[in-house]
Structure 1
């Protein structure tokens, strides 16, 4: 049997039961079943991309948390220990994800700083400061677009079949990597589309603020609305940063766990 990428939401109870065949239980192991459900939920979110980036990050975190529980099971450790080649492929994918989330975190820090500077510039009526922070914002958006491309490339890589014969544990661990790549592409893409004003393109936002290099001050009402919008954006970025830190740490923990499993007893 070879592992292939299944369409989102196609995981069935029968599949979950089959996956648990390598574990000595008459019924699917609760941890295996929980991880399977978490993967299905994440893939469903990726297919619909509803609920925003923070929801996607939370679902990725939930999948990786469930993976951590699975990797702590002695039965799972024994099953993975005999699948060195497959584990090596999964380790490569997790490393790509960890690198991507490290870059993503740096980008979020830059975005948050640029939004803070836009707030200062708006309060002061400093069009030059606002324009400079918007340029930083756009450069960061390009960096996020590069992350999207990285995830698309990684998704193509996950199409390589893994031999999961008599080892359904390796199959579900591989599915974690695939589902995380798919969701991360969507998360990064949505973040790349963020602008200080979610309703207008970034290059029109300065005009919407009524703040230009030659302007003395934005109208009080306009400045107030802009500041409220920026505060919400800053809060959103902060939430993404917190969630991404958790995902980054879990990816590193998963990689360490797999490396420890592959170490000879």
Structure 2
């Protein structure tokens, strides 16, 4: 295997040295060069401030797609056969943690979208109880997303810190992909959690709508001020649009992670 991956992020010096001690760096395998570029693009997105959750998820998806190409190489298969079983098991566990995280993330995005739709209905109807319930659902989902970030980072630290990749270049490469994916995914999830963080303030700042400010039931005949309802509805519409991209992208990433795990499992499992 050719060491085309640069020592990006938190790659250890030992791993970087092991890679540089292989074939001439000026002739990388095209698949490894592509994976290298994908990781670099993902880390560059993070370095620029991780702007745009949809863009970030697309880069994660591209990186995992490149990883899939790597795992299909005969050289990678041979290297993984020779790798320590413990290291392979740790990588499998890390991929499972990430897949579970994206499954939870996808469910949370669906919930955010649903509560935003209910907020739209409640705002149009002037239904304070419905608005209050929808805002509570928003807050619960935001907290769930924050917990998800903590879980992902904790699992990654526990797995990648103890991972011994110095004797397997491919394990080191997969670990690099996992580390970059965790780092980017944490930023993506936090960004999505912040999408609707201003939602309670949007409803509470308008003094003419006391039912919104108090988040309590109001007489049915009392309607929200048109300008207030319009501002809220416009904000909610933008929120739904912002969720659409990450929702579609997270489903793709979830499937990529499962595919990567299955590929690795098939490689290391004896027939």
Residue pair 2:42, 2:56 contacting (<8 A) in 1 also:
yes
Residue pair 2:71, 2:77 contacting (<8 A) in 1 also:
yes
Residue pair 1:130, 1:206 contacting (<8 A) in 2 also:
no
Write the mapping of 1:28-39 to structure 2, written as runs, cut at 5 A. 28-39=28-39
CA shift in 2, pair 1:27/1:172, >3 Å: same
1:134: how far off?
Answer: 0.3
CA shift in 2, pair 1:70/1:29, >3 Å: same
Measured in 1, the distance between the counterparts of 2:21 and 2:244 equals: 38
Residue pair 1:86, 1:163 contacting (<8 A) in 2 also:
yes
What TM-score, normalized to structure 2?
Answer: 0.84
1:115 has 2:112 as partner: no
Residue pair 1:111, 1:137 contacting (<8 A) in 2 also:
yes
Q: Which residue of 2 aligns with 1:3?
A: none
| Higher gyration radius (CA) | 2
What TM-score, normalized to structure 1?
Answer: 0.86
Find the residue that maps to 1:60 and give its secondary structure: helix
Q: Which residue of 1 aligns with 2:157?
A: 156
1:207 has 2:204 as partner: yes
Q: Which residue of 1 aligns with 2:266?
A: 260
1:192: how far off?
Answer: 1.9
Cα-to-partner distance string for 1:132-176 (whole Å, 9 max, x where unaligned): 1000010111111110110220232222242333x3222111111
Aligned residues: 252
Measured in 2, the distance between the counterparts of 1:175 and 1:146 equals: 24
**Unmatched segments (≥5 aa) in structure 2:** 1-6, 212-216
Measured in 2, the distance between the counterparts of 1:60 and 1:225 equals: 34
Cα-to-partner distance string for 1:184-225 (whole Å, 9 max, x where unaligned): 111122222221xx6xx4432322465413372222222222
1:98 has 2:107 as partner: no
1:194 has 2:200 as partner: no
Superposed structure 1 runs of 4+ greater than 6 Å apart: none
CA shift in 2, pair 1:87/1:222, >3 Å: same
RMSD (Å) for aligned C-alpha atoms: 2.7
CA shift in 2, pair 1:27/1:81, >3 Å: same
CA shift in 2, pair 1:10/1:176, >3 Å: closer
Measured in 1, the distance between the counterparts of 2:108 and 2:20 equals: 38
Measured in 1, the distance between the counterparts of 2:137 and 2:21 equals: 49
Q: Which residue of 1 aligns with 2:52?
A: 52
Q: Which residue of 2 aligns with 1:62?
A: 62
Find the residue that maps to 1:87 and give its secondary structure: helix
CA shift in 2, pair 1:73/1:7, >3 Å: closer
Residue pair 1:107, 1:144 contacting (<8 A) in 2 also:
yes
**Unmatched segments (≥5 aa) in structure 1:** 1-5
Residue pair 1:8, 1:40 contacting (<8 A) in 2 also:
no
